Homo-oligomer: A and B are copies of this chain.
Amino acid sequence: MLEAAEVGNKLDKKTFRKAAPKIRTALLAVQKRIANTPLAPVIVVGGAEGAGKGETISLLLEWMDTRGIETNVVWDPTDEERERPDYWRFWRLLPPRGKIGIFFGSWYTQPIVDRAFKRIDAATFERAMRRIRDFERMLTYETGPVLKFWLHLSREQERKRLKAFAKDPRLRWRLHKDAKKFFKHYDDFRPVDEEMLRLTNTGYAPWTVVEAADNEYRNLTVATTVLQTLEEAAAEAESRARAKRTRRPPALPKPKRANVLRNLNLTQKLSAKQYDKRLAAAQADVGRLTRKLAKRDRALLAIFEGPDAGGKGGAIRRLTGAMSPYIYRVIGIAAPTDEERAHPYLWRFWRNLPRHGRVTIYDRSWYGRVLVERLEGFARREEWQRAYDEINGFEEQITEGGVIVMKFWIAISADEQLKRFKDREVTPFKQYKITEEDWRNRAKWDAYEAAACDMIERTSTSVAPWTLVEGNDKHWARVKVVEAVRDRLCSEE
């Protein structure tokens, strides 16, 4: 793809000056339209050192309303970033809906540099490219277009540019500190760039490779591509918004006769004596093992799902009771804030990822997407269907980043739930736990069971398997949870 950008494209200054005001007006207009859509376009700018990445973006910023654009420079990670999975730093910089995010340095930088300097092999590089495809597909679905520009210079053009920059004291600072080093490896970078372009030039997020030697040609190409892409995206979003949303209740799934949940033996129980003994022993171990997380650059993320009144809160309390209050945080899923709604649905979980040494516990989690959001129709069919894959990818990434992921489904029978609901209504310090919504959810018991089975089937992965917990007996359930955490932490030692 790069050779096609070494053909000598040029644009004379006069043509550029004539075209500029029109494009500028149109860019401002489309930016205003974007502000009223749920889109958050992302612009990635990559390419050769000295190719004019900064200049091009300066021009865009000059032409557009800067207040609606967030420019992000991603280079050396901070220590807060180093203590989180790789993509955390990109997630935290994603623009909110209505705004545009520009990335200099991006999810492409590290894999390309690592591969050019032979720090990673071809397979690892390909894997990184596949992760990029998944990420950009998710972004495209969730918040709209990902525009990618690769500003290309031939070897000879780059050599000339760097020389000119080095000579001129007013330009010298423009060179990245590693520019010279990178240029020495021009021939190592080129095939990597080609491979990267081939593997990530997807239909949903195609690359625009721009011949960068001529300033006017480069700037106009980028500006018009941005304009066209944003105009198309805005028009599409507007027509979607106009289309009357026939808010039909979604078809509720039915559970299979035999399924993983029905196969559970809910009659298992523990005596009070066994409970006390085993719980205390497991808690002591969990206390000891969680204190060691920091030294091992690991974190723990435990999530709890299951029917209302299944005993999630009680199990969580037994788990946190084992830990120092300094290291854990319990997050209950409430309605997302508007900042959270302004980002892809996994954003709120990325932003709350534990640092090394810390423990985060979710009372309900990202699986809401394929449970309540699916059943209540808050997520469209295509949204919850792709969510399984997105969630598996998310868990894989954070596992690689040092986060131990544990997922508990606490199962109870419908009869047991009814008994507990009634109990909650009469016990003073439990009343805060029962609401009308609980009764409404109960009416959809079968559908929840079916959705849960689908979920468990599709998201029980080797890195993050589900632990199914028989919950009719609280003693049994709590001990199973705390012992499971103990065993997992032991196995990770």
A267 at the interface (CB under 8 A from B): no
* B66 in contact with A316 (CB, 8 Å): yes
Q: Are A24 and B339 in contact (CB under 8 A)?
A: no
Give the contacting residue for A330; candidates B21, B67, B330; CB below 8 A. Answer: B67
Whether A66 touches B339, Cβ cut-off 8 Å, given contacts A28-B429, A32-B432, is: no
In Å, the complex CA distance between A327 and B58 comes to 11
Q: Chain B residues near A363 (CB, 8 Å)?
A: 67
Is A67 in contact with B170, judged by CB distance below 8 angstroms? no
Contact partner, A429, options B21, B62, B339, Cβ 8 Å: B21
Which single member of B320, B325, B428 contacts A54 (CB below 8 Å)?
B325
Q: Choose among B62, B67, B69 the residue that contacts A321 (Cβ–Cβ < 8 A).
A: B62
Contacts of A61 in B (CB 8 A): 320, 325
Residues of B within 8 A of A32 (CB): 432
Number of copies: 2
- Among A70-78, A124-132, A247-255, A407-415, the stretch in contact with B: A70-78
The chain B residue with its CB closest to the CB of A430 is B28
Residues in chain B near residue A68, CB distance under 8 A: 332
CB distance from A253 to the nearest CB of B (A): 29
A67 in contact with B325 (CB, 8 Å)? no
The answer to whether B79 touches A29 (Cβ under 8 A) is no
With contacts A21-B429, A337-B338, A429-B21 known, is A66 near B320, CB below 8 A?
yes
In the bound complex, CA of A28 to CA of B429 (Å): 7
B332-A67 in contact (CB<8A) = yes
A278 at the interface (CB under 8 A from B): no
CA–CA, A58 and B324, complex, Å: 8
**Interface readout for A315-354 with B: 1 if CB under 8 Å, 0 if not?**
0110011001111111110000111001000000000000
Q: Which residues of B contact A73 (CB under 8 A)?
A: 326-327
Q: Is A259 among interface residues, defined by CB-CB distance under 8 A?
A: no
- Size bin of chain A's contact surface: 35 or more
Q: Does A493 contact B (CB under 8 A)?
A: no
Q: Which of A144-181 contact B (CB under 8 A)?
A: 170, 173-174
Task: Indicate whether A51 reaches chain B with its CB closer than 8 angstroms.
Answer: no
Distance, CA A338 to CA B338, complexed state (A): 6
Distance between Cα atoms of A59 and B409 in the complex (Å): 27
On chain B, the residues within 8 Å of A432 by CB distance are 28-29, 32, 65
> Is A460 at the interface (CB under 8 A from chain B)?
no
Which of B24, B332, B428 lies in contact with A25, CB distance below 8 A? B428
Cβ of A80 within 8 Å of any chain B Cβ, yes or no, is yes
Q: Is the CB of B326 within 8 A of A104?
A: yes
| Top 9 closest pairs, chain A to chain B, by CB | A67-B332, A66-B330, A25-B429, A73-B326, A338-B338, A57-B325, A58-B325, A79-B79, A78-B80
Write 11 A-B pairs (CB below 8 A) sorted by A numbering. Answer: A32-B432, A67-B331, A67-B332, A67-B363, A68-B332, A73-B326, A78-B80, A79-B79, A104-B325, A173-B324, A337-B337
- Given A58-B321, A79-B79, A173-B291, output 9 extra A-B contacts at Cβ < 8 Å: A24-B429, A57-B325, A61-B320, A62-B321, A67-B331, A78-B78, A104-B325, A170-B284, A339-B339
